[in-house]
Amino acid sequence: MFKPEKNNNIDKVSLTLDGKQIFLPAATSVAAGLLGINEPVSKISSTSGKPCSPYCLMGVCFECTMEIDGIKRQACLTEVEEGMEINRGLKGAEEKGK
């Protein structure tokens, strides 16, 4: 959905996303980092059972909430850190619906 502009050379850090190792640019939010590597889905809505994606990127909509190091946090307000563990809980989407 988004791609980095051409002259975008930033250091990368290593994180775990749903059990897999990924690399995101340092000094960005988790939400921006994930959008930049084409991971637009942030969670499965616990009320509709549908996938959600970041909407506002400024801490208002809560659509980018994901489990980061064991706690559900707004990814757009959480700075990327080396070794972070992110779980989006994308499996079992259908069962979660009302």
Partner 1 sequence: MKSIDIMVIGGGLSGAALALGLVRQKVGKVMLLDQHLPSQRLSRGNFGLTWFMCKGAENPAYAAWCRMATREWPEFAAQLEALTGYDVELEWKGGAVQAFGREEFDVHAASIKKIGTACEEAGLDYPVQMLTREQTQDLIPDMSLGEEVSGAMYTKEQGHVNPLKLLAAMRSAFQKKGGIFHGGTTVRKITPLKNASIAVSTGEGDFSCGRVVVAAGHGCARLLNPLGETPVIYPQRGQLMVTDRYPRCLPFPFLSVRQTNDGTFMIGLSSEDTAMDTNVTPRAMNTQAKNAIRLFPKLAKLNWVRAWGAVRVMTPDGAPIYSRVKGHENLFMIAQHSGLSLAPVMASRVAPWILGNSVSGSQQFISQFSNGRFHV
Partner 2 sequence: MSRYDVIIIGAGPAGLSAGAVLGEMGLNVLVLDEQSVVGGQIYRRIETAPEHRLKFFGRDYSRGLALADRFKKSGAKFEGSATVWQAESDGSVCYSRRGKSKMVWANYILVATGAMERPVPLPGWTLSGVMGAGAANALAKEAGLVPAGRVVLAGSGPLLLLEASLLLKKGVDLLAVLETTPVMPPVAALPKGVQAILDPGLLFKGLKILREIKKSKIQHYKGVKDIRVIGTDGLESVEAMHKENHLNFTADILLVHFGVIPNTHMVRQMGCAMEWDHIGRFWQPKCDEWGRTIFERVFTAGDGAGVSGAGAAAFKGELAALEIARCLGILNSSDRDRFAASVKKAIKQDGFARPFIDHLFAPRFDDSWFEDETMICRCENITVGEIRRVVAQGVKDVNEVKVITRCGMGPCQGRMCGPALAEVVGQALSICPEDAGLLRIRPPVKPVPLEEIASMDMGSDGGMDANWLLDKK
Residues that bind partner 2 (CB under 8 A): 1-5, 7-8, 25, 27-29, 32-33, 35-36, 40-41, 45, 47-48, 50-63, 65, 71-72, 74, 77-79, 98
Longest dimension (CA), the chain: 45
* Partner from partner 2, partner 1, none contacting 56, C-beta within 5 to 8 A by type: partner 2
Within 10 angstroms of residue 34's Cβ, the number of other Cβ atoms is 27
Q: Report the site for partner 1 in 40-79 (rule: CB under 8 A).
A: 46-47, 70-72
Within 10 angstroms of residue 24's Cβ, the number of other Cβ atoms is 24
CA distance 6 to 92: 37
Question: Measured from the CB of residue 72, what is the shortest distance to partner 1 in angstroms?
Answer: 5
Task: Say if strands 12-17 and 20-25 run parallel, antiparallel, or are unpaired.
Answer: antiparallel
* Partner from partner 1, partner 2, none contacting 89, C-beta within 5 to 8 A by type: none
Binding stretches for partner 1 (CB under 8 A): 46-47, 70-72
